[in-house]
Amino acid sequence: AQSVTQLGSHVSVSEGALVLLRCNYSSSVPPYLFWYVQYPNQGLQLLLKYTTGATLVKGINGFEAEFKKSETSFHLTKPSAHMSDAAEYFCAVTYSSASKIIFGSGTRLSIRP
């Protein structure tokens, strides 16, 4: 069975500081991994995804994530936080392109001025 665990329901960082949102997954087969962002009162927007190939994945808005099979992790990072990054972030996993995505419970990111 697949599952996703996001550590920390709320993360607060200062503007300009490193953003690190943690995600660990459980999958019995090679996973497809995703990070989505949800701004208030909006739908989900894909930040980045890992399917195969390079384990360091770069996404939109300066975010990136690294697939670490040995640690079953897919943590999301951004070197320097902007106020506009304040949103809810969801990590997700699936095992094929035509299967349901399992989402984590989400991490709300706040940015302090």
Partner 1 sequence: GAGVSQSPSNKVTEKGKDVELRCDPISGHTALYWYRQSLGQGLEFLIYFQGNSAPDKSGLPSDRFSAERTGGSVSTLTIQRTQQEDSAVYLCASSPRTGDYTFGSGTRLTVV
Residues in contact with partner 1 by CB under 8 A are: 32, 34, 36, 42-46, 49, 51, 90, 94, 96-106
The smaller minimum CB distance to partner 1, of residues 70 and 97, is found at 97
How many angstroms separate the Cα of 48 from the Cα of each of 51, 84, 86? 10, 17, 17
Q: Please identify, using beta-carbon distances, which residue of 77 and 108 lies nearer to partner 1.
A: 108
Q: How far is the CB of 88 from partner 1 (least distance, A)?
A: 9
Residue the block writes with tokens 């992790």: 73
CB of 17 to partner 1, least distance (A): 25
Show Cβ contacts of residue 75 under 8 Å, excluding neighbours closer than 6 positions: 20, 21, 22, 23, 65, 66
In whole angstroms, the minimum distance from the beta carbon of 105 to partner 1 comes to 4
For residues 101 and 92, the answer to whether their CB atoms sit within 8 Å is yes
Q: Which is nearer to partner 1, 52 or 70 (CB)?
A: 52
